[in-house]
Amino acid sequence: MRDFSSNPRRAGGGRAAGVLLFVGGLALLLSLASLVRAWSENRRVGQRLQDERSGLRGVQTRLRSLEGARNPDRSRGLQAMLTLEASPPRVFQDLAKALPPDVRLNNVVLDYGNRLDVDMQVLARSAGAYDAFLARLEDGGSFENIVPGDENREGEVTARVEATYKAGTP
């Protein structure tokens, strides 16, 4: 039965609740120990991943600036063409097609340059929903160079995803 109480009443289980509490406490202690181990491992790997990503971004930025410097007129022309072929409503329409019901976008940045880079802050109710979103993004045909960024998988998944919009896709 639905209940909107500020402290919903729970059916009491007496002795059974006590036993469950004890078993639960024991399980909690064991899982805390393994959590600490996993956390330190995760931190080590995360730091390495971060270093690699920083390096990659540096190279990408340098590459783009070199391309722009080589031919600034061509660069501006591409930007104008992109704005026409990949207007924000169209990009958002394609993004919406890829969104499962239990995933939402908290922030989207469209960066019109030689190509259209899309930077998204994603919030998904579960890891499965987040993975489904990535799969639909890849399979939809409107985005490429999909790079899942920083993730936080404590309960809901918050993540950053970068992708390039393929202008001119039907």
**Cα–Cα distance between 139 and 77 in angstroms, integer?**
29
Angstrom distances, CA of residue 10 to CA of 7, 14, 15, 60: 9, 12, 15, 56
Q: Which of the stretches 29-37, 48-56, 63-71, 100-108 binds another protein when contact is defined by CB under 8 A? A: 100-108
Among 32-40, 61-69, 95-103, 146-154, which window interacts with another protein (CB under 8 A)? 95-103
Amino acid, res. 94: D
| Of 154, 107, 103, 93, nearest in space to 130 by CA | 103
Backbone angles phi, psi at 49, to 5 degrees: -60, -40
Residue 102 found at the interface with another protein (CB under 8 A): yes
99 and 132 in contact (C-beta within 8 Å)? no
Pick one of 72, 101, 168, 170: the residue that binds another protein (CB under 8 A).
Answer: 101
Q: Report, in Å, the least distance between residue 167 CB and another protein.
A: 29
- Residue 6 near another protein by CB under 8 A: yes
User: Least separation, in Å, of the C-beta of 132 and another protein?
Assistant: 10
- Residue 100 interacts with another protein (CB under 8 A): yes or no: yes
Least Cβ distance, residue 3 to another protein (angstroms): 4
If the CB atoms of residues 103 and 116 are measured against another protein, the closer one turns out to be: 103
| Cα gap 165→146, rounded to integer Å | 9
**DSSP percent split of the chain into helix, strand, coil, nearest 5:** 55, 20, 20
Q: Are 129 and 103 in contact (CB under 8 A)?
A: yes
Question: CB-wise, 98 or 116, nearer to another protein?
Answer: 98
The least distance separating another protein from the CB of residue 9, rounded to whole angstroms, comes to: 7
156 interacts with another protein by CB under 8 A: yes
Which of residues 5 and 34 has its CB atom nearest to another protein in the complex? Answer: 5
Half-sphere exposure of 21 (CA within 13 A, CB side): 7
- The residues that touch another protein, with contacts defined as CB under 8 A, are 1-6, 8-9, 100-102, 104, 106, 125, 156
